[in-house]
A = this chain, B = another copy of it.
Amino acid sequence: MAEFALIQDLVVKNASKIVLLVMDGLGGLPKEPGGKTELEEARTPNMDRLAAEGICGLHEPIGPGITPGSGPSHLALFGYDPIRYEIGRGVLEAVGIDFPLTPQDLAARGNFCTIDAAGNVTDRRAGRIPTELNAKLSARLQAEVKIPGVQVFVSPVKEHRFVLVLRGEGLDPALSETDPQVVGKPPLPVHPLKPEAARTAELVNQFIEQARRILADSHPANMVLLRGFAKYPSLPQMGDIYGLRAAAIAAYPMYRGLAKLVGMTALPAGSTLDDEFSALERGWADYDFFYLHVKKTDSSGEDGNFEQKVHVIEEVDGLIPRLMALKPDVVVITGDHSTPAMLKGHSWHPVPLLLWARTCRPDLAESFGERACTKGSLGRFPAVDIMPLALAHALRLTKFGA
């Protein structure tokens, strides 16, 4: 918590309301050289007005040139150094299916795979079995595996992917992975990467051997591979750091899960944008800080669908009047990273951001877009600065020193 010591010292409470509206993968690229990005192409009169009245800039979730995953980019938005506070992949996968993790839990990503009679892997993804079959096999593993001293949970994700959770005292995630990465070789046993993890390695190897026996007749999904071992992270909680009652509104479980890891309450969010804004209205009186997550900007970008991404941004813009009708004190609108349709994936490009509050000093950004944000007074800046800036504009930070 040392890095939060200054902020914790300065935090004061008041009745202000802060909204952090995250359009996942918001940052984009033009379709042709010199053209407009998705956000620039979108007609966004409401966000343009907020940008003109507020301050703008482009944030970097991790650092220059670094393309972030959703876990670290969200941690950075919430003010956590994403390099220091890494969330392991097993945990991310678990929160992604709304698995109710506890601090005792060790999570891993699992694949069903195919092995031959000699025990060598012939397909690392078991032919991408249907999710329904995955669900049956996961249930069977959970029912039949017995490991003394720990509880075992096996939860299906999609196709061949599942999550393994071991719950018990003293589990240690310093474990090697079992995927041999090539076909024609047997799955590797788990090795402890430090002495304290020896017992955990032994427990996981018990799981693997029991799974091998239980799945023997389930060709093509007759074996498992495990990787991304991770312990439930004990992250500083937003309530303790910022003195905020924080709520998360996210239709997708992974984002709710991430928010819960930092101490937010996940509000029932429905599945549409409209549902999410209704959740914001319903929860308004009970929280100080609202993280509202929009997924479809990112998925359109991942699909390479420029027009769809433009459309989602316009849809969000249309809902801004409902947000402003609540009379928030500080509104931050940004993305967690860039997902340019042109690249069909996350990218390292800085992410446009607007911060609106009555305490903003006007800058030269007159609309919300990547080029406009380069004229903003925030310049290009680290994402971890967003929370202190939001708190300051909500008058929730007192003076440092006399």
Residues of A whose CB lies within 8 Å of any CB of B are 6, 10, 27-30, 33-35, 37, 52-53, 58, 62-73, 82-83, 86-87, 89, 92-93, 340, 343, 345-350, 358-359, 361-364, 370-371, 374-381, 385, 388-393, 397-402
Taking a contact as CB atoms under 8 Å apart, the answer to whether A401 and B87 are in contact is yes
Known: A37-B361, A364-B371, A397-B348. A381 touches B64 (CB 8 A): yes
Nearest-Cβ distance from residue A135 to partner chain B, whole angstroms: 23
Point out the residue from B64, B370, B380 that lies within 8 Å of A388, measured CB to CB.
B64
Taking a contact as CB atoms under 8 Å apart, the answer to whether B400 and A69 are in contact is yes
A402–B377 Cα distance when bound, in Å, is 31
Taking a contact as CB atoms under 8 Å apart, the answer to whether A64 and B385 are in contact is yes
Q: Which residue of B lies closest to A358 (CB)?
A: B33
A65–B62 Cα distance when bound, in Å, is 19
Nearest-Cβ distance from residue A62 to partner chain B, whole angstroms: 6
Point out the residue from B65, B350, B362 that lies within 8 Å of A391, measured CB to CB.
B65
Question: Can you tell how many copies of this chain the complex includes?
Answer: 2
Instruction: Kindly list the 5 A-B residue pairs having the minimum CB-CB distance in the complex, ordered from nearest.
Output: A65-B388, A65-B392, A69-B401, A72-B401, A64-B385
A sample of 18 more A-B contacts (CB under 8 A), given A34-B53, A69-B402, A379-B380, is A6-B83, A10-B67, A64-B381, A64-B385, A64-B389, A66-B388, A66-B397, A67-B397, A68-B399, A68-B400, A69-B401, A82-B400, A340-B361, A346-B399, A348-B389, A361-B370, A363-B371, A364-B375
Taking a contact as CB atoms under 8 Å apart, the answer to whether A392 and B362 are in contact is no
Taking a contact as CB atoms under 8 Å apart, the answer to whether A377 and B380 are in contact is yes
Residues in B whose Cβ lies below 8 Å from that of A363:
371, 374
Residues in B whose Cβ lies below 8 Å from that of A73:
401
Q: List 21 A-B contacts (CB under 8 A).
A: A28-B361, A34-B362, A35-B362, A37-B361, A64-B381, A64-B389, A65-B385, A65-B393, A65-B397, A67-B400, A69-B399, A70-B401, A82-B401, A87-B401, A92-B402, A343-B359, A346-B399, A348-B389, A374-B376, A378-B380, A379-B380
Q: Most chain-B Cβ atoms within 10 A of its Cβ — which of A28, A66, A350, A390?
A: A66
Taking a contact as CB atoms under 8 Å apart, the answer to whether A374 and B375 are in contact is yes
A392–B52 Cα distance when bound, in Å, is 31
Nearest-Cβ distance from residue A388 to partner chain B, whole angstroms: 3
Known: A362-B30, A392-B65. A401 touches B53 (CB 8 A): no
Q: Which residue of B lies closest to A390 (CB)?
A: B65
Nearest-Cβ distance from residue A293 to partner chain B, whole angstroms: 16
Nearest-Cβ distance from residue A190 to partner chain B, whole angstroms: 20
A375–B376 Cα distance when bound, in Å, is 9
Q: Which residue of B lies closest to A93 (CB)?
A: B402
Nearest-Cβ distance from residue A336 to partner chain B, whole angstroms: 11
Nearest-Cβ distance from residue A88 to partner chain B, whole angstroms: 9
Taking a contact as CB atoms under 8 Å apart, the answer to whether A348 and B392 are in contact is yes
A10–B210 Cα distance when bound, in Å, is 36
A361–B346 Cα distance when bound, in Å, is 14
Q: Which residue of B lies closest to A373 (CB)?
A: B377
Nearest-Cβ distance from residue A327 to partner chain B, whole angstroms: 15
A370–B55 Cα distance when bound, in Å, is 12
Residues in B whose Cβ lies below 8 Å from that of A62:
400
Residues in B whose Cβ lies below 8 Å from that of A398:
67
Residues in B whose Cβ lies below 8 Å from that of A67:
10, 392, 397-400
Nearest-Cβ distance from residue A244 to partner chain B, whole angstroms: 14
